[in-house]
Amino acid sequence: MTDAIPSFFVYGEPEQQLEPGFFHVETVMARKGLHQGQVSAHKHDQMGQVTFWLSGGGTYFIDDKPLDFSAPAASFVPSGVVHGFSVDPETSDAIVVSVADGALLSIREHTTLPLDRSTMIRGESGDRGWRRLAELLDIIADEYAGGAAGSQQMLASLVAAVLTQIARLASAAPAGQPTQALLATQLRRLVDRHFREKWSVGHYTDALATTPHLIAKASREAFGMQVKELINERRLLEAKRLLLFTVRPLEDIAYEIGFADAAYFSRFFRLRVGEAPSDWRRARVSASGAG
């Protein structure tokens, strides 16, 4: 059943490889023609999403847990988490801010909201805190539409502020997750912490006090890949961030993400990206300079 759940770039569009600093902002009803307010179960394997409901209401579901709501309401859903909603397309709309996992790695250092689990809150439109959240999202939409120099850095700061405001507005801890989803959350948290240390899959299994079958199932259902590939994808993401945002040589980057030498790192990178890390860096630095 879970294998049939589609993974999108943004809703209705096939997955594509995201740059570490990717942001996307649009309203839910910008895609009204695709869903008519009935968005079926789906996920995004490379990015998290903030959704702020401006009007209307309906039912939102995260990992099959239905949550009735009326605006204002806000949610954060990390990558790999199944979600969808049912609303009246004539009266409901929301702003959706999509953020690549690479950008969230930096943002999480500047927000108090846990980014490895889902959160949804509902409130009152007259509340000062909700007005502040709405104002921040208006600024994000304007900044994204403007595309001025330094836009990625500005958006990162604004998204961190939005996530912290959501944390402030949350009146209680998020509802408990199903056991399988919780195991996947714990696995991703451990991978983030230890991917540089060459932990084996067995090491993660032992650390989580689970079984090879259960950890494999949790990784497959939440992330669409086996644990070993999840670890490798995390190493690849870190490599891209270091290539794009630092001037460190390949030898340093290889060592940083757990490889013994630059040649092995280059083979690893080329196999997954289709080009050598030095070529990938050169092309993107040149494109950034041209912009």
What is the tens place of the pLDDT at every residue in 207-243?
888 889 889 998 988 888 999 999 999 999 999 989 9
Q: How far is CA 244 from the centre of its chain?
A: 19
Provide the edge-to-edge strand list for the sheet that holds 47-55. 23-27, 93-100, 47-55, 73-77, 119-122
pLDDT at 288: 62
Question: Which among 291, 265, 261, 287 has a CA at the least distance from the CA of 278?
Answer: 265
Q: Which domains does the chain have, with CATH numbers?
A: 2-169 (2.60.120.280), 179-290 (1.10.10.60)
Tokens representing 204? 């993660």
pTM (two decimals)? 0.68
Instruction: Give the pLDDT confidence of 57-86 residue by residue, as tens digits.
Output: 889 888 767 888 889 999 999 998 889 999
Tokens representing 37? 């307010």
pLDDT at 34: 83
Instruction: Give the pLDDT confidence of 275-288 residue by residue, as tens digits.
Output: 999 999 988 877 66
Three-class SS state of 121: strand
The mean predicted confidence, pLDDT, of the chain is 88
Instruction: Give the pLDDT confidence of 116-126 residue by residue, as tens digits.
Output: 889 999 887 77
Tokens representing 97? 């801010």
Cβ-contact 130, 123 below 8 angstroms: yes
* In the block, residue with structure tokens 């879970």: 2
pLDDT > 70? residue 261: yes
Instruction: Give the pLDDT confidence of 144-170 residue by residue, as tens digits.
Output: 999 888 899 999 999 999 999 999 998
Q: Give the pLDDT band of residue 176 (cuts 50, 70, 90).
A: very low
50, 97, 108, 165 from 74: Cα distances, Å: 7, 11, 18, 10
227-245 vs 179-194: helix crossing angle, rounded to 10:
50
